[in-house]
Structure 1
Amino acid sequence: MFKNALVSVSNKEGLVDLICPLARQGMRVVSTGGTSLHLQKAGISVVEVSQQTGFEEVMDGRVKSLHPSIYIPLLARLNKKADVKVLKDRDLAPFDLVVCNLYPFKDAKHQGKKDLVEWIDVGGPSLLRAAAKNFEHVTVLCDPEDYQGILDAGEIPSLEKRKQLAGKVFSMLADYNFCIADEMQKESQKERRNLYLKGRFYTDLRYGENPGQKANWFQLNKTGLHQALCLQGKELSFNNICDLDSAVSTVREFREPCCVAVKHNNPCGVACDSQMETAIGLALKADPVSVFGAVIATNRPISEEAAQILSSLFLEAAIAPDYSDSALAVFKSKKKNLRIMKWPDLSIYNNNQKEGIKNQFDIHCVDGGLLVQDTQNINKEWQKDWKYIGQKPGSSVQSELLMAWKVCAHLKSNAVALVSGNQTVGLGMGQVNRISSVEIAIQKWKSFHSGLSIPVMASDGFFPFPDSIEAAAHVGIKWIIQPGGSLRDQEVISKAQSLSVNMVFTGQRCFSH
């Protein structure tokens, strides 16, 4: 097995279990500072780095392993006579194992620690880089998850395995450097000039959007949709994940108990109510045709009664902060193929001052590049800039307008949302002209909810012509919320006034292409 190891870690998880049996087999261990003390407490004989270098640690440990007596044994090519002679002339034994991980800069950043510069590792990356470069002769371990595999093998890893471990090192170093660069440039560079993306493989998917497309799932952050636990049902498909993400994004707009149904990446039913069960029932009835095969998201736990409602029709998946035991029993007996996802983070926003916790940016792939934009947040702060044409709405109408506006932002443009009370009653989206979206939304309202009170209407973009106002007024709609900004705004306003339609101009567009 290994003869000479260099060990220097911040994360000491599993270290003694790795080094102890190897040391008993005669492996020499060279180590630094806190790592050395940790190993010695476990009864492992250790050579201090300063003994090998003849140079004591200085400047609070900033300089300890950066020395030729460390890097010559790390980088020596044992198939090169000249390199072997250098080792022999200096009485140095080559390292064949390096165990090293880095100061946890990312954790320190997330914890808001001060003086982050002191969490930037210098010696560790240098050791890892040197060892990984010399993978033909050195096994390098940067992840405690790899320790047990080395012990189980009971022998020096193959060249292929050493190369794989070296690749893992360079990947980890890239992520580490990206994190530091991002932090360093955050204050001095308000505008984006460099984009650092490092995705960690999470899982393979059966296929992509269509069966002929290969697909994988990568995580960019520790937190996210990948944290959701699948409590029952088949594995998630690419399209399931897209729909769940859309549903989660929409339901997080609301503090009150809310249910969102999504089909083909578009909400098809949204409802809020003080009782989660009522909200679920209203959301499923919002568009009873489109909801077949949808996914649903709620921002409150699912009870047995709610599970009974959800089990009344075919759904692809459900995601919620939690489920009662009796609710899970209902799903198991009635809908065993329904994908049940539990994600406690769905309820975090309830104690958060901001509505809608989202990614900081959106990315779209284009031929040869990426388009990056800030994530649009719809929140109550916008209301202070709203301009009213006609009457000013009362609190109930204001609530309907805000709900319609929030939902509209999650529909594909051109998008129109009709809301009556606390539920959507007609959604039109994805049309290449606005009047078509208006007509679709009205048709759904008339087909499924004609008995409800006349809804308010939201549009994600301005009205280029008065025709949409005429169509809305024709069915009795009296309140419309839209961003404004058309060259024909005055013409649209005049038409609304002549038809006794009140309008709210948000001053903010909410397209979703």
Structure 2
Amino acid sequence: MTLALLSVWDKTGIIDLAKALAAKNIGILSSGGTAKTLRDAGIPVKDVSEYTGFPEMMDGRVKTLHPKVHGGLLGRRGTDDAVMQEHGIEGIDILCVNLYPFEEMSKKNLPLDELIEFVDIGGPAMIRAASKNFKDVAVVVDPDDYPMVIDAVNGGGFTYEQKLSLAAKAFTRTAAYDAAISNYLNGIGSEFPSTYTVQFANGRHLRYGENPHQKAAVYGTSGIAGQTALQGKEMSYNNYLDVHAAVSLCRELPSPGTVIVKHNNPCGVAVGATQLESYLKARDVDPVSAYGSVVAMNSPVGKDVAEEICSTFVEVLIAPSFTEEAREIMKKKENMRLLVLPPEVPADELRTIDGGVLVQRTPEYEEGWTVVSKRAPTEAEVAAMRFAWKIVKYAKSNAIVYSNATELVGIGVGQMNRVDSAKIAVMKAAEFGRTMKDTVVASDAFLPFPDTLEVAAAAGATALIQPGGSIRDAEVIARADELGVAMVFTGTRHFRH
């Protein structure tokens, strides 16, 4: 190795890398701010413009776009040596480039003529050239790889596998970069781009998909997708789905709160004075369904919670943290997965369909409730409505939730009609000795007939919250008034298919 080209926007670690190259008598080509940074550190550098014989021009738009640069990156050793020598092209053995920060700057609402200057041209061109010729050139696009590069330089060179891996990473980076630019430009004047391009990294094979005959993988570096279990078996496809559902609701609860999910539906939800109290209340909503469930908590897990968790079978437990005592206790449940609750990562929701993908974006919820019944809800009923409305948002349609202000009392989900959901919730609650007396009811969509309301009122519910919007709203409201049920319209539907 005799020559390296270093041209980076992010200067993190570049001085240490350059010092290692210089110590091995590897010449360094550079330009602009990178060259200045290295010279200021006392590292000998040759400007790209001096090497090519052409100055940087057009406000820096043109500086590395030259045959002596791209010939040095693309020239095949042993094949193109003669033509390289004829044209004075030196082989570039190492390319270290990172790109103008288009992704970051595109979030700053800049005018297009300003933002377009953060579209890197020379960088991606060099990266692609070096990556194509990876057998002869090591291409480095991530400062996290500098230690490996330094080791390779000090050890006499890169292996074939290292150079191939670096090239793959480089093409991945340019693909993501081009995707960001494409999405932005295709989205000008539109809520969604006409062509939608996404990329997820950190792919890991899962044992199987929803069922053993299906293959699956998970991708992602942050949020739930990026988590590694502290203990337990490998996370399954269904585990990830259930954890996502549990965490999404749990983040909306006051702390300490617990959400228990089974097959992507909440079967126990509660808040309490302590994390243990909230867990016990949530578990007792439906202890049969809670067996083999996914549990999400929004405050730290201590010894008392760990002991209760270990008294039954839980597939996954996710919480902000675990005390050392709790960790020791839960080690005896060696198959139970423990996850640390990560910060939320807002993103578009993607679902594949035959031939394409559906993309959904949910704006921040704004409460705009309207009391439509003659009787206004009491303060206690309003508090219970707020709690129930959060739960029904994360239950599969057609969803009916009965609750008080601190716990789910009964739930019916996934039925073809809403009145059956209302009946199932009452039946399930009765199975565990729970009464609907003085509960409130939340419906994820409007009530097309009064029948769901009648079932709820007969069971003891005193108030109902729903989106409204049915052609029979007046009939449903009149029936609520006859039954003395307070009713609120939210104007927002929470279908969850």
TM-score, normalised to structure 1, is 0.86
Q: Which has the higher mean CA deviation after the structures are superposed, 399-408 or 209-218?
A: 209-218
Give the SS at the match of 1:295.
Answer: strand
Q: State yes or no: 1:285 paired with 2:284.
A: yes
Which residue pairs with 1:369 in the alignment?
A: 356
Task: Tell me the distance in 2 between the aligned counterparts of 1:328 and 1:156.
Answer: 42
Shift in CA distance, 156/317, structure 1 to aligned 2, threshold 3 Å: closer
Task: Tell me the distance in 2 between the aligned counterparts of 1:198 and 1:40.
Answer: 37
1:479 corresponds to which of 454, 460, 463 = 463
Q: What does 1:383-422 align with in structure 2 at a 5 Å threshold?
A: 384-422=368-406
Amino acid of the residue matched to residue 371 of structure 1?
A: L
Which residue pairs with 1:272 in the alignment?
A: 271
Asked whether the 8 Å contact 1:425–1:449 carries over to 2, the reply is no
Which residue pairs with 1:66 in the alignment?
A: 65
Asked whether the 8 Å contact 2:385–2:405 carries over to 1, the reply is no
**How far off is 1:71 after superposition?**
2.3
- Write the deviation string for residues 399-435 of structure 1: whole angstroms up to 9, x where unpaired: 1112111101101111110102410011111112222
Q: What does 1:294-443 align with in structure 2 at a 5 Å threshold?
A: 294-332=293-331, 334-345=332-343, 359-375=346-362, 377=364, 379=365, 381-382=366-367, 384-443=368-427
Amino acid of the residue matched to residue 418 of structure 2?
A: R
Task: Tell me the distance in 2 between the aligned counterparts of 1:302 and 1:466.
Answer: 44
- Write the deviation string for residues 426-469 of structure 1: whole angstroms up to 9, x where unpaired: 11111122222111101122222435743111111222333222
Give the SS at the match of 1:289.
Answer: helix
Q: Which has the higher mean CA deviation after the structures are superposed, 235-244 or 10-19?
A: 10-19
Which residue pairs with 1:352 in the alignment?
A: none
Q: Which has the higher mean CA deviation after the structures are superposed, 161-170 or 311-320?
A: 161-170
Runs of 4+ in 1 over 6 A off after TM superposition: 110-114
Task: Tell me the distance in 2 between the aligned counterparts of 1:462 and 1:204.
Answer: 41
Which residue pairs with 1:178 in the alignment?
A: 179
Shift in CA distance, 438/248, structure 1 to aligned 2, threshold 3 Å: same
**How far off is 1:191 after superposition?**
4.1
Task: Tell me the distance in 2 between the aligned counterparts of 1:311 and 1:319.
Answer: 14
| Structure 1 stretches lacking a partner, 5+ long | 346-356
1:106 corresponds to which of 99, 103, 107 = 103
Which residue pairs with 1:199 in the alignment?
A: 200
Q: State yes or no: 1:33 paired with 2:6.
A: no
Task: Tell me the distance in 2 between the aligned counterparts of 1:313 and 1:113.
Answer: 55
Task: Tell me the distance in 2 between the aligned counterparts of 1:472 and 1:144.
Answer: 60
Task: Tell me the distance in 2 between the aligned counterparts of 1:201 and 1:215.
Answer: 14
Asked whether the 8 Å contact 2:409–2:434 carries over to 1, the reply is no
**How far off is 1:14 after superposition?**
5.0
Asked whether the 8 Å contact 1:480–1:502 carries over to 2, the reply is yes
Asked whether the 8 Å contact 2:453–2:480 carries over to 1, the reply is yes
TM-score, normalised to structure 2, is 0.88
Q: Which has the higher mean CA deviation after the structures are superposed, 97-106 or 32-41?
A: 32-41
- Write the deviation string for residues 323-346 of structure 1: whole angstroms up to 9, x where unpaired: 2233223323x534322211352x
Shift in CA distance, 168/450, structure 1 to aligned 2, threshold 3 Å: closer
Which residue pairs with 1:232 in the alignment?
A: 231
2:475 corresponds to which of 491, 494, 499 = 491
Amino acid of the residue matched to residue 376 of structure 2?
A: K
* Sequence identity percentage: 40
Task: Tell me the distance in 1 between the aligned counterparts of 2:102 and 2:193.
Answer: 22
Asked whether the 8 Å contact 1:359–1:375 carries over to 2, the reply is no
Which residue pairs with 1:350 in the alignment?
A: none
Asked whether the 8 Å contact 2:187–2:194 carries over to 1, the reply is no
**How far off is 1:229 after superposition?**
5.0
Amino acid of the residue matched to residue 467 of structure 1?
A: D
2:86 corresponds to which of 86, 89, 94 = 89
Shift in CA distance, 186/300, structure 1 to aligned 2, threshold 3 Å: farther
Asked whether the 8 Å contact 2:257–2:271 carries over to 1, the reply is yes
**How far off is 1:263 after superposition?**
0.8
Task: Tell me the distance in 1 between the aligned counterparts of 2:139 and 2:345.
Answer: 37
Q: How many equivalent pairs are there?
A: 492
Give the SS at the match of 1:8.
Answer: strand
Asked whether the 8 Å contact 1:360–1:375 carries over to 2, the reply is no
Q: What does 1:15-30 align with in structure 2 at a 5 Å threshold?
A: 15=14, 18=17, 20=19, 23-30=22-29
**How far off is 1:164 after superposition?**
4.6
Q: Which has the higher mean CA deviation after the structures are superposed, 20-29 or 321-330?
A: 20-29
Which residue pairs with 2:168 in the alignment?
A: 167
Give the SS at the match of 2:229.
Answer: strand
